[in-house]
Structure 1
Amino acid sequence: MKLFTPDTAYINPKALEYECGKKAEEFLKKSNVPIIYSKNVKIDEKSISKNYAKSKQTILITTNFQKKLQTCKPSADYQFSLSSSCPANCEYCYLQTTQGEKPYMKIFVNIEDILNVIKDHIDKNIPSITTFECSSITDPIALEHITGSLKKCIEYFASTEYGRLRLVTKFDNVDSLLDINHNKHTKFRFSINSEYVINNFEHNTCSLSQRIEAIRKIANSGYPIGFIIAPIMLYDNWEYEYKNLIENLKDALSDYSEEISFELIQHRFTSTAKELILNRFPNTKLDLNEDKRQLKWGPYGKFKYVYPKDDSSRIKDYMTNLINKNFSNSFIEYFT
């Protein structure tokens, strides 16, 4: 897939004190991207959908001095951010309600400071292993070519005895990460789905075939790997398409003997997210019919609409059997 290049870039002048900031500026200049040297981003279009579209083509190169990391269960002990938001336009994205009306991308370039915070959290937990997720509010692979920050993180975690890194992506920009020392301390998880879901709802992401090729590369480089299948949706022919998905993965990983994890997440939405989705994607094919769902209290203090118990059980049983049948070296971390 073609590497993402923004239409407009803002650079906080302080970001140019850092190596990654200078690298980002160099990339933007070579790509002929208009640069505004300011820490304040201005997006003022005439509608919600236009603000959203403009934001998805705008980046801010800046810094992140967060000292206390948030927990990130069930994925990891803590989460940290190399960036926020991403170039993808996934209609169902769970970040629809958390990143505001204008979810432009912030790219943090003070990687040394971020790694020092991570080190502090690791040291406080020795001799236990501490795990970190770096893709809770972004897709780090989608923006890696701009700064190279993720490569530095992977190399750092390779050198730590008690730290482990996890990330998830829908992109295939992995070549710069294949020949580095990772010491199996970074786990790559790929967000995958049926052709129907990818083609209809995951705009500006890699195709399934492109993701599978990236999966092959990462597996051949010896990284621990896993898959997030999310959101799993019920639609005509869903069973056949998910069967094809799992069988294609099996063929791609026929020589991979290490353990493979799966995280399974059914489609869900909140009332607030539904309103935003319909404003941003007025022609969406997403099934947002609340009458066909049941309410479930979420961990962040909001009700969400999930499939009724019978449908949810059908999804769980079908996907579990499908994975176990095709991957003897797999385990399912959770279904939710």
Structure 2
Amino acid sequence: MKNFIPDKAFIDPRVLNYDVGKIAINHLTELNVPIEKSRRVVIEGKSPLENYSKSKKTIYLTVNKQKKLRPCKPSADYQFSLSSSCPGHCEYCYLQTTQGEKPFMKVFVNIDEILDVISDHIDKNSDITTFECGSITDPVALEHLTGNLKKCIEFFSKSKNGRLRVITKYNNVDSFLNIDHNNHTKFRFSINTRYVINNFEHSTSSFEERIIASKKIASSNYPLGFIIAPIIIYDNWKEEYKELILRLKEELKDYSEPITFELIQHRFTRTAKDLILTRFPKTKLDLNEENRQLKWGPYGKFKYVYPKEKSSEIKEYISKLIYDNFKNSTIEYFT
């Protein structure tokens, strides 16, 4: 998949104090991306849908001064951000309701300061501490602008007790293949069936691209995992999830290290449903509340999940597929 090129970039003047900021600006200039220096991002669409569309092609180079990192269970101990939002247009995205009407991409350039904060958190613990860098973004999708993720992998490779977890839907992984990662960075690919990717994960890497990228990462001996999310019930879903697992097995037949899987069934909130229908009025997502049951979420909101019998069927079917085909696998959780 080609690297993402924004239609416009806003530049926080503070960015010029950082080497990564200067590099990113030079790169954007070479790509002929219009640049405006401002502490404020201005997007003026004629409708909420146009604001959303324009935002997904707009980046804001700025700095991240966050000192206290948030917990990130069950994925990791903490989460940190190299950016926010991403170029993808995933219709079901759980960030639909948290990033506002204009989810433009913030790209942070003060990588050394970010790593200093991470180092402080590592030092406070005597045990292994894990960090997730993809909770509110896809770090691989924006890596070509800053090189920040590569710097993180190199930092964690030298850390005694720090471990990095990366999650992506993109296949642009070549810059990570020759890094001495010391097995301290785990790559997890968000994968799904062709139907789900083609219908709901717009502007992301394809089914085949992600699987080939995972093989590249495996060949570089990174710890490897997969998130199958969201698992959706539709006509022929069992056959297509079987195809997915068998295709992974074929490409990873030479990878003998442990592989983890994280399984997440499709869910939505009432607020998210309204927003999804505004942004994707022709969506094929099943958002019929009568087909779901309510579940209390960790952030103080009810969400609609599959009824218990359907949820159990998903868990049992996908789990059996995984364990039958990956003897070296562990399912970390199903939710």
TM-score class, shorter-chain normalisation, is: over 0.9
Q: CA deviation at 1:91?
A: 0.1
Question: d(CA) in 1 for partners of 2:16 and 2:191?
Answer: 36
Contact 1:64 1:108 in 2 (8 A): yes
Matched, 1:139 2:170: no
User: For residue 66 of structure 2, what is the aligned residue in structure 1?
Assistant: 66
Contact 1:51 1:102 in 2 (8 A): yes
Matched, 1:271 2:254: no
Q: CA deviation at 1:64?
A: 0.3
Contact 1:39 1:60 in 2 (8 A): no
Question: d(CA) in 1 for partners of 2:86 and 2:249?
Answer: 29
Unpaired runs of 5+ residues, structure 1, are none
Q: How does 1:162-201 map to 2 (within 5 A)?
A: 162-201=161-200
Q: CA deviation at 1:13?
A: 1.2
Q: Runs of 4 or more off by more than 4 Å in structure 1? A: none
Q: How does 1:1-336 map to 2 (within 5 A)?
A: 1-126=1-126, 128-336=127-335
Structure 2 letter corresponding to 1:166 = R
Q: CA deviation at 1:39?
A: 1.7
Question: d(CA) in 2 for partners of 1:268 and 1:125?
Answer: 34
TM-score normalised to structure 2 length: 1.00
SS at match of 1:262: strand
Contact 1:270 1:304 in 2 (8 A): yes
SS at match of 1:142: coil
Question: d(CA) in 2 for partners of 1:78 and 1:330?
Answer: 24
SS at match of 2:253: coil
Which stretch of structure 1 is more off in the superposition, 14-23 or 284-293? 14-23
Structure 1 letter corresponding to 2:204 = T
Q: CA deviation at 1:213?
A: 1.1
Count of matched residue pairs: 335
Question: d(CA) in 2 for partners of 1:179 and 1:26?
Answer: 25
Question: d(CA) in 2 for partners of 1:63 and 1:32?
Answer: 23
Q: CA deviation at 1:226?
A: 0.1
Question: d(CA) in 2 for partners of 1:263 and 1:211?
Answer: 16
Question: d(CA) in 2 for partners of 1:177 and 1:258?
Answer: 19
Question: d(CA) in 2 for partners of 1:275 and 1:15?
Answer: 37
Question: d(CA) in 2 for partners of 1:38 and 1:177?
Answer: 32
Q: CA deviation at 1:24?
A: 0.6
Contact 1:296 1:304 in 2 (8 A): yes
Q: CA RMSD in A?
A: 0.4
Question: d(CA) in 2 for partners of 1:334 and 1:39?
Answer: 41
Q: CA deviation at 1:311?
A: 0.3
Question: d(CA) in 1 for partners of 2:203 and 2:29?
Answer: 23
Question: d(CA) in 2 for partners of 1:167 and 1:176?
Answer: 14
Q: CA deviation at 1:55?
A: 0.3
Question: d(CA) in 2 for partners of 1:151 and 1:333?
Answer: 26
Q: CA deviation at 1:195?
A: 0.4
Q: CA deviation at 1:41?
A: 0.2
Structure 2 letter corresponding to 1:96 = Q
Q: CA deviation at 1:16?
A: 1.4
Question: d(CA) in 1 for partners of 2:11 and 2:177?
Answer: 29
Structure 1 letter corresponding to 2:13 = P
Structure 1 letter corresponding to 2:194 = E
Percent of paired sites with the same residue: 69
Question: d(CA) in 2 for partners of 1:22 and 1:286?
Answer: 42
